[in-house]
A and B are shown apart, each in its own frame.
Chain A
């Protein structure tokens, strides 16, 4: 335990170096900016800034990228509250009560409590990270190919279960994601697969162009194609700070949101969106006046916002100690780590302590930066939101395309991004979600290698997955998660049958 704190102190030494402080700050600002802008999510920004970070050393790069993640979590709440548009996907829940508070002229306290709640949650999750990541790393050493297979499957099923669309559609997206991940050279036999004769595809589609197209450009396209335009809230923001009554009401929700968010975020595959819905539901259940939720209750803002930041910190645990991404954002981070030559996993902490502890320390610093930044900058953010969306739109498209090009100086990547954007629009139109797809796209190759290695290990027997306890447990969880919706539907049907009969 003492070892963890000395390492953390060492990490602060790394994080407080001027250049790392600078990158942390830049990342935090960019992340907030991106989180505030509707239509450009942190995933696309991460992918966009990836090429920039190639010139930096891995520690500084990840510090900046992690800053973006946190910044986006802070910034996303701004548009949710002011415009009723989630600035980033995981700020959806904040819209429910946050926007209503703004309409009542209480945008200030809403923004304020979300900033403070986020800070408290973020700080807590950093310490959680310090305490738990090394422990999980030891457990992870027990993992062989079959365990990884079970883990990947579990991660994918949990994500698909808790998405807002239908499970079937989410799993379909997973399958497509896996197939897209197979494009390129087969990792074991080096045969070209699905490359359609295009030479540049031998390395695979590339995470960044796909993400930029699927999330960045497609969001712009969808907004451009909408018949109704977003409405800016015209009103004065009175008093940024929540009053005593607000604090009293929010104390419980922030605490519960932080704990729940962090614990749920740790589970691979859960991400940051699901915990927020659960936290909101919990607060509503616990409240003495649940009917007021959805009409501007500050608890409905405090809890999801704290939950969001805590869950984000939580998702870094499986990312760093096991190499499992829980959502599109951590999937991109995983890709980034691999590009830098750092393999996340139990060995990461030992082999690159300056990386691991430096990043954790900088997350704490990032939280401080973000709190200091967000409060006075709120009027500025609001003014940016008043830029006509047209100019924002063309800038976003431009950045995504240029970003795609500069990855490999290849126009093919630009076309991949454009094609992905079309896919993104189609998915939205037909009611599918891109998150399971991107998750499977990143996890797919790992899953495939795990599967094939396991089968080679076992000589072709699928029993290996059940014989080894950890993988059996993981697969059981996956199965249970998959079948819960069916079970509950069965129960309602029998109940209804009983009543009618």
Chain B
């Protein structure tokens, strides 16, 4: 996807977002200018966003097709998506499985599935990091990490 198409996409998306937020802000109540309501600032910021998005889309469209800059960086979305899903799952199970176990699983999944290290490395690192971070955060930094149903 070239820069031009990327800009059109993001511009349109933010335009729509701005309109939506502006609407939501007006629902919150704009109040009077002498006594601004809760939605006042949001509405202003959203209005600015809408105007700027229009400018962005407009200026991108006005440039001839091959002048709009080079290729945007190539990104492997699959890998990123996989990592994000893992992180979300981590958040979901953190309370239930407890810190040590969740962290262990996170590291193992990350190293084995996502980075394709062998099982030995993944499991060993998992244990090391789970215990290491436990020591650092629970003991040294006195944080209160969640214990899961298994008690640790």
Contacts and interface: CB of A to CB of B under 8 A. Distances in A.
A415 B91 contact: yes
Interface string B113-130: 011010000000100010
A342 B110 CA distance: 41
B7 A172 contact: no
Q: Which of B29, B91, B95 counts the most chain A CB atoms within 10 A?
A: B91
B49 to A, nearest CB: 4
Interface string B94-134: 11000100010011001100110100000001000100010
Contacts of B73: 226, 428-429
Interface string B13-25: 0100010010010
A191 B99 CA distance: 35
A225 B42 contact: no
B72 A194 contact: no
B87 A429 contact: no
A432 B10 CA distance: 10
Interface stretch (A97-105, A304-312, A453-461): A453-461
A430 B99 CA distance: 35
Interface stretch (A7-15, A29-37, A400-408): A400-408
A432 to B, nearest CB: 7
Given A176-B49, A411-B94, A394 B111 contact: yes
Contacts of A444: 41, 45
B56 A430 contact: no
B87 A398 contact: no
A451 interface: yes
Interface in B45-103: 45-46, 48-49, 52-53, 55-56, 59, 72-77, 79-80, 83-84, 87-88, 90-92, 94-95, 99, 103
A418 B88 contact: yes
Given A182-B41, A390-B111, A175 B84 contact: no
Contacts of B94: 405, 411, 414
A225 B75 contact: yes
B49 A425 contact: no
Contact of B133 (A179, A402, A428): A402
Given A172-B14, A226-B76, A430 B9 contact: yes
A277 to B, nearest CB: 20
A409 B125 CA distance: 25
Nearest to B126: A394
Contact of A172 (B34, B52, B59, B143): B52
Interface of A: 51-52, 55, 166, 168-169, 171-172, 175-176, 178-179, 182, 186, 188-189, 191, 193-194, 217, 221-222, 224-227, 390-391, 393-395, 397-399, 401-402, 405-406, 409, 411, 414-415, 418, 421-422, 425, 428-432, 444, 447-448, 451-452, 455-456, 458-462
